Amino acid sequence: MQSRGIGRLFEGVDWITVAIYLLVVTIGFVAITAASYEEGAADLFAFSHFYVKQLVWMAVAFVVAVVVLLVDASVYHKLAYVFYIGGLVLLVAALLFGREVNGAKAWFEFGSVRVQPVEFVKIATALALARVMSTQTFSITRVGDLMRVGMVICLPLAIIVLQNDTGSGIVLGSLLFVLYREGLNKWLCIPVLLIAALFIVSFLLTPMTLLIALLLVCTFSEAMMNGQWRSRLVFLAALALGALCLYLVMFVAAPGRMDGYRCLLTVTLLSLPAVGIYAFRSNLRNIFVTMGLFLLALVFVPTTDYIFNSVLKPHQQNRILSFLGLASDPLGTDYNVNQAKIAIGSGGWLGKGFLEGTQIKYGFVPEKHTDFIFCTVGEEWGFFGTMAVLTLFCLLILRLMRMGERQEEPFGRIYCYAVAAILLFHLLVNVGMTIGLMPVMGIPLPYMSYGGSSLIAFTILLFIAVRLDASTRQFNFR
């Protein structure tokens, strides 16, 4: 720690970010109070109440925030790998010796206090990612360096999946945004997004329709990739017409031995050499990229059934089917989301008022103080209240991105963007699952959902970024 005068103790701190943080935490406390308040309780200040416990966690979080700001910024850079290894050890320990909660063996229990290591591992992973990518020899275009980055992200992700806490693990996938910001080629980002899209679409479309859709998408994306799109579109259209004629001939010639999908797939694969020869002679390397993506998609699509039936747990399967509208269970899988939408919709424009939410008060919404805390805001504060909360989160994320852009060292910039990505992912998934736009994953709303581990971890995550930014601003002031 550096020795400073009292007046310069917090010099350079972005107080706007701190103020937004305090507002969101306060709103969260009010929402938790409304969600857990019991009329006629003998002792309103008993530690058994969730809002009293959250008040204690808030005090602890504020102290932790001050401590984080007092630590010299260089410490986070020097000890990034130490934090990361410690986080991995905690994850393994939780997997072996932890307590199982809601099917996930990801908690430590100390009396009445539970700690979830994965919340702190997000911090360690963001620090380690920033440390790896900020070395002088690192290049985002070098395969070896990308493999190191992938290992940093995938190691904790694999352990978290083994803990059966897939929702928390998926959060680490948001760090792909950081790689894109640092210059990762978009053609390496797109396959990851396509895999997720294909996994979902494969449940909605027949194999025949999916194959035709893949052909059209790849054809038009390839045709529009450069200025000569007209001639290339004509070539690909002619090739498609020839393939269609061959498909019809084969389908008519062998109607009983080959179904439409296999026939069209065979014709498509036979057509690829013609595309490759055209690309080679025309020196159009981008076509090979499109062909590679198409072949990977053809390999991936048949594996979705195996992933769905053998990798995902039954409750995860039900949530996906319910989200896609392929299954309906109003009293089971769909119950939480249905009640959440009823609660938010009943709030109207201005809400019913503090402690006046009937859906919340009478226990119709499960997990109303944790994962579905947004329902409490929607019912009691209405549309304008929810928009105010979303605006505060958006401002916080934009402040983090601004802090990242004014960093002079890549370590601070990468870390700030990692924090912004993690917060944005949590916000989109939590609010999305509350209003039925995302499958239920059990991801908390940062700074608002009840829980000591979550609040303290997100506080540390944010204030390390504030501390790195303060160090940069102090240097510029001098």
Q: What is the mean pLDDT of the chain?
A: 80
Flag whether pLDDT at 215 surpasses 80: no
Q: What pLDDT score was predicted for residue 79? A: 95
Distance CA 145, CA 136 (A): 12
Distance CA 478, CA 153 (A): 37
pLDDT in tens, 316-370: 777 777 766 666 666 666 777 888 888 888 888 898 988 888 888 777 888 788 8
pLDDT in tens, 123-139: 999 999 999 999 988 88
pLDDT in tens, 415-434: 999 999 999 999 999 998 88
For the chain, the straight-line distance linking the first and the last C-alpha, in angstroms and rounded, comes to: 19
Least confident of 225-229, 288-292, 382-386: 225-229
Please give the average per-residue pLDDT across 197-207, as a whole number. 64
Predicted TM-score (pTM) of this structure:
0.80
pLDDT in tens, 269-312: 666 676 666 666 666 555 665 666 666 666 666 666 666 777 67
Amino acid 50 reads: F
Largest separation between any pair of C-alpha atoms in the chain: 88
Domain-wise residue ranges, the chain = 6-193+313-477, 205-311
Flag whether pLDDT at 179 surpasses 80: yes
Distance CA 323, CA 344 (A): 18
Task: Give whole-number Cα distances, 134 to 80, 179, 234, 420, 466, in Å.
Answer: 12, 12, 46, 18, 18
Please give the average per-residue pLDDT across 460-475, as a whole number. 88
Flag whether pLDDT at 99 surpasses 90: no
β-bridge mates for residue 108, sequence order: 115
Q: Which comes out higher in pLDDT, residue 372 or 296?
A: 372
Task: Give whole-number Cα distances, 473 to 14, 54, 337, 370, 412, in Å.
Answer: 9, 33, 45, 36, 12
Q: What pLDDT score was predicted for residue 1? A: 41
Flag whether pLDDT at 118 surpasses 50: yes
Do the Cβ atoms of 432 and 426 come closer than 8 Å?
Answer: no
Distance CA 132, CA 411 (A): 9
Q: Which comes out higher in pLDDT, residue 177 or 475?
A: 177
Please give the average per-residue pLDDT across 247-266, as a whole number. 55
Angle between helices 410-434 and 452-477 (to 10 degrees): 150
Q: Which of 79, 110, 105, 80 is nearest to 92 (CA)?
A: 105
Q: What pLDDT score was predicted for residue 14? A: 92
Q: Which comes out higher in pLDDT, residue 149 or 209?
A: 149
Please give the average per-residue pLDDT across 14-43, as a whole number. 89
DSSP string, 23-42: HHHHHHHHHHHHHH--TT-S
Flag whether pLDDT at 5 surpasses 50: no
DSSP one-letter code for 440: -
Share of residues in the chain with pLDDT > 70 (%): 68
Flag whether pLDDT at 402 surpasses 90: yes
